[in-house]
Structure 1
Amino acid sequence: MEQIPPLAPPPAFPPTAGTPPMPAPGLSPWGPPALHRLEIPLLVLAILVTALTYLVAISLLATGRLSTWVGILLLAPLLVYLARGRMYAAQRVNGVKMSPTQFPDGYRLLVEAAARFGMAEVPDGYVVLGNGQINAFASGHGFRRYVVVYSDLFEVGGLARDPDALAFIVGHEVGHIAAGHTSYWRQLGMFGANYIPVIGSSLSRAQEYTADNHGLCTRPAGAAGAIGVLAAGKYLMGLVSFDAMADRAVTERGFFPWLVNVLASHPVLTWRAAALRDRSRHGRIFFRP
């Protein structure tokens, strides 16, 4: 990981329809990005659920009732460690590592985001073959933290499309690292909760809103393009109205739209757009805006 250069001033926030409400503390693009208000309570709940599942697994083992699920739970510390190590190694041997000479624009965005969040070091960045998929993720192993960007996102970042959208997405992923989401201990603490409907997915959605706060602080002008590419892909993203997506957060009602969100690891795009536009409150986890 490289050392961070001096912090550059944050870019301007893009105009939206009408007069936007005043940002709540920590939700302004110009201040330190805030954790979602429910992230820590949901994390505590997830850790408690995981601890309870460990106690149940240990009690079942003590009574001789060993099963596959009990074995998985008891081996979770090793399984999480091995999975993280294998994933990191896969990027190191297959991915193209961003540097001042390889994908320099992506490397510059990593440096920009890390500086914006006051990080001591720039995370490693890798480009992997996307095969048409639009995706990026952040993870870590040991003391290393890294961001993986699918190659198709660099077409989104090309001058013919929306380079600000790519900057927002990279800032979002670096935000996961800055907020501690890639920690081994956090992922281990969430292990049991991930198998309980709603609890694990709700914490994941809160973390995604937190990462969006980081992406907005990195490149506010890229929020609309990021929603556009996630909704319609790299070729049609320019046809997506950000405000129209955000407006539908309050009109798409009913049990099944609610169910889709509550079981998802990421907030549904209409709610996510609404949260990025309305900085007066945190994004909604359970109930529509």
Structure 2
Amino acid sequence: MRWGDPRRTRALRHPKENTALLVCLAVTALAVTGALNRALDGESSGQPLFVLAIPLLVFFVRGQLYARQRVNGVRISEAQFPEAHRMVVDAARAFELPQVPDAYVVPGHGHINAFASGHGSRRFVAIHSDLFEVGGRLADPEALRFVIGHEIGHIAAGHVSYWRQFGISIADIIPGIGATLSRAQEYTADNHALEFCPEGKEGLRVLAAGKYLYRDVDFGAIAARAHTDQGLFVMLVNLLSSHPVNTWRFHALIDRSQPGRLL
């Protein structure tokens, strides 16, 4: 099943995402090939078998993650959080998904986060309650709409497919390699969100100051620091992060003349 319009996704994809993906695929392919050769040579250590078991491990982890949302989360529907449900439906239609992903509110315990994943033919979005409150009790629906557009963007761009996640599984545990692809994917998802709800981009201030203080934060001031707050350790923090640092990420949402900075 194809998720999203390939031509539209190409236009919104970070230009270096596919290059980073190829590097990750190559790393995983080399690791699996090496493990297979060692297993055929009769190596008795468990390492080759562990590497060869990764496809099953990825399948198991994805299935368990989906089940956890289904049994512990609050499913967003026409009856439960109908406004958020309309946002999910609107985003799925905007990016021409073949079906509307499931969506859940899950306990945040103070964490501001949301994520998208899948299992089998299903795709789903989970939003931490602390972030979901921004669009509900704190009355900033555009911010929530941007978040939902971002997560649906991950699905439309193919980031949550089983084969992709298996293909990058080894690279993901190597510092800086998998994280670089992840940052490119975040920029791609931001591009989807910006097209879906441009007025909601400043809702990302919640990542910098939390759900109660973010309205007092100057989005542009954080973005401007992308040019002033630089240096070796800033680059190192970004290199090891799965998401672009806030200054670079906010700047990429303001300055649309160039893609978000990866390194």
| TM-score in same-fold range (> 0.5) | yes
Instruction: Choose which of 134, 153, 162 in structure 2 pairs with 1:175.
Output: 153
Q: Distance in 2 between matches of 1:60 and 1:46?
A: 21
How far apart are residue 280 of structure 1 and its match? Answer: 1.1
Q: Which residue of 1 aligns with 2:111?
A: 133
Q: Deviations over 1:91-145 (max 9, x none)?
A: 1111111111101121111011111112221111011111222111000000000
Q: Distance in 2 between matches of 1:158 and 1:93?
A: 23
User: Quick check: 1:114–1:122 contact (8 Å CA) kept in 2?
Assistant: yes
Counterpart code for 1:121: Q
Q: Which residue of 2 aligns with 1:210?
A: 188
Alignment root-mean-square deviation, CA:
1.6
Q: Which residue of 1 aligns with 2:172?
A: 194
Q: Which residue of 2 aligns with 1:124?
A: 102
Which secondary structure does the structure 2 equivalent of 1:147 belong to?
A: strand
Matches within 5 A, 1:225-244: 225-226=203-204, 228-244=205-221
Q: Which residue of 1 aligns with 2:3?
A: none
Counterpart code for 1:59: N
Q: Pick closer, same or farther for the CA change 1:183–1:145 going to 2, 3 Å.
A: same
How far apart are residue 159 of structure 1 and its match? Answer: 6.0
Q: Which residue of 1 aligns with 2:90?
A: 112
User: Quick check: 1:32–1:117 contact (8 Å CA) kept in 2?
Assistant: no
User: Quick check: 2:105–2:132 contact (8 Å CA) kept in 1?
Assistant: no
Is residue 257 of structure 2 the alignment partner of residue 277 of structure 1? no
Is residue 129 of structure 2 the alignment partner of residue 146 of structure 1? no
Instruction: Choose which of 68, 88, 94 in structure 1 pairs with 2:72.
Output: 94
Q: Distance in 1 between matches of 2:145 and 2:63?
A: 27
TM-score normalized by the length of structure 2? 0.93
Which secondary structure does the structure 2 equivalent of 1:202 belong to?
A: helix
Q: Distance in 1 between matches of 2:69 and 2:136?
A: 23
Counterpart code for 1:234: K
Q: Distance in 2 between matches of 1:112 and 1:143?
A: 20
Name structure 1 gaps, 5 residues minimum: 1-25
Q: Distance in 2 between matches of 1:195 and 1:41?
A: 18
Q: Which residue of 2 aligns with 1:252?
A: 229
How far apart are residue 223 of structure 1 and its match? Answer: 0.7
How far apart are residue 33 of structure 1 and its match? Answer: 5.5
Which secondary structure does the structure 2 equivalent of 1:145 belong to?
A: strand
State how many pairs are aligned: 256
Q: Distance in 2 between matches of 1:160 and 1:98?
A: 18
Counterpart code for 1:269: N
Which secondary structure does the structure 2 equivalent of 1:235 belong to?
A: helix
User: Quick check: 2:145–2:197 contact (8 Å CA) kept in 1?
Assistant: yes
Q: Which residue of 2 aligns with 1:71?
A: 49
Q: Distance in 2 between matches of 1:71 and 1:194?
A: 19
How far apart are residue 66 of structure 1 and its match? Answer: 4.1
User: Quick check: 1:141–1:184 contact (8 Å CA) kept in 2?
Assistant: yes
Matches within 5 A, 1:39-58: 39-58=17-36
Q: Distance in 1 between matches of 2:63 and 2:90?
A: 27
How far apart are residue 32 of structure 1 and its match? Answer: 8.2
Counterpart code for 2:248: W
Q: Distance in 2 between matches of 1:135 and 1:212?
A: 14
Richer in helix (by share): 2
Instruction: Choose which of 266, 269, 278 in structure 1 pairs with 2:243.
Output: 266
Which has the bigger relative contact order, CA under 8 A and spacing at least 6? Answer: 1
Name structure 2 gaps, 5 residues minimum: 1-7
